[in-house]
Chain A
Amino acid sequence: SKSQMGIASYFKVH
């Protein structure tokens, strides 16, 4: 099975 990643884990939060 696959799990859903969150978008913020790929982009830096400012």
Chain B
Amino acid sequence: MFEARLAQSAILKKVLEAVKDLLTEATFECSDSGIQVQAMDNAHVSLVSLNLRSDGFDKYRCDRNLSMGMNIGTMTKILRCASSEDTVTLRAVDSPDNIIFIFESQNKEKLAEYEMKLINMDLEHLGIPETMYSCVVKMPSQEFARICRDLSQFGEAITIACSKEGIKFSAAGDYGNANVKLAQTADSDKEEEAVLIDMQEPVKLTFACRYLNSFVKATPLCAQVKLSMSSDVPLVCEYQIGEIGHIRYYLAPKIDD
């Protein structure tokens, strides 16, 4: 028996919106410690890693480890049927063929059940090594989303250069070029608005806008985003999910031919 309940479906709705652009299918691995998803996008350029800890749920029970292959499009459609304030419960038997989503309104007068067929998937797990990053930047997630959107108008890729002075995003294309510099905030009274840079060595890396613009769909999950970068390794773009977990996006850089 697997059962996981969240008092408000809003978190799960936002999580689905944050992955649906990148993933068509994904395996949800459920264990005593929580729910984990690790999946590459179709082009195998980026990797999504989602972790929801069992102690972050209002109720969590997982008698046996389960790997449930889910169609993300269908799951997104089902979550859209829930109101943000509805309680959501995920339920499956051991060795399940399907999973049930149960939405209950706050006043308990409406109860909706949606059953979704599970899919068989080959489980290919990538081992992500522990990495000490040269630059770790924390910045407002809305600002990051805005910069990605704005610079995407100029080119297909954004170059991120990080130094002690700050972080610079730039894009160049046929019509011109653009760059946005953010300095580290002097006083971080408002934690949510702070730009914090932890730099060991300066880095300069280039990434495809397409993927960055998919990652920023996670913006509603968290006021701050953490960008971890080292030369010649994938960018990690991380959003905390309340007190329950996090979503990390890994993106392979573009390199000189």
Contacts and interface: CB of A to CB of B under 8 A. Distances in A.
Interface of A: 1-14
Contacts of A7: 40, 44-47, 126, 234, 250-252
A14 to B, nearest CB: 4
Interface string B214-257: 00000000000000000001100000000000000011111111
A1 to B, nearest CB: 5
Contacts, number: 59
B129 interface: yes
B254 A8 contact: no
Interface size grouping (class) on chain B? 20 to 34
29 contacts: A1-B256, A2-B255, A2-B256, A2-B257, A3-B254, A3-B255, A4-B45, A4-B208, A4-B254, A5-B252, A5-B254, A5-B255, A6-B43, A7-B40, A7-B44, A7-B47, A7-B250, A7-B251, A7-B252, A8-B40, A8-B126, A10-B233, A10-B250, A11-B47, A12-B126, A12-B127, A13-B124, A14-B126, A14-B127
Given A7-B40, A11-B126, 15 more contacts: A2-B257, A3-B257, A6-B44, A7-B45, A7-B46, A7-B234, A7-B250, A8-B40, A9-B252, A11-B128, A12-B126, A12-B129, A14-B124, A14-B125, A14-B127
Contacts of B152: none
Interface of B: 40, 43-47, 124-129, 157, 206, 208, 233-234, 250-257
A13 B40 CA distance: 12
A1 B245 CA distance: 38
Contacts of B46: 7
Nearest to A3: B257
Instruction: Count chain A CB atoms within 10 A of each CB in B46, B127, B251, B252 and give the residue with the most.
Output: B252
Contacts of A8: 40, 44, 126
Contact of B157 (A2, A9, A10, A13): A2
A11 B206 CA distance: 19
A8 B40 CA distance: 9
Given A7-B45, A8-B44, A11-B47, A1 B257 contact: yes
A9 B251 CA distance: 11
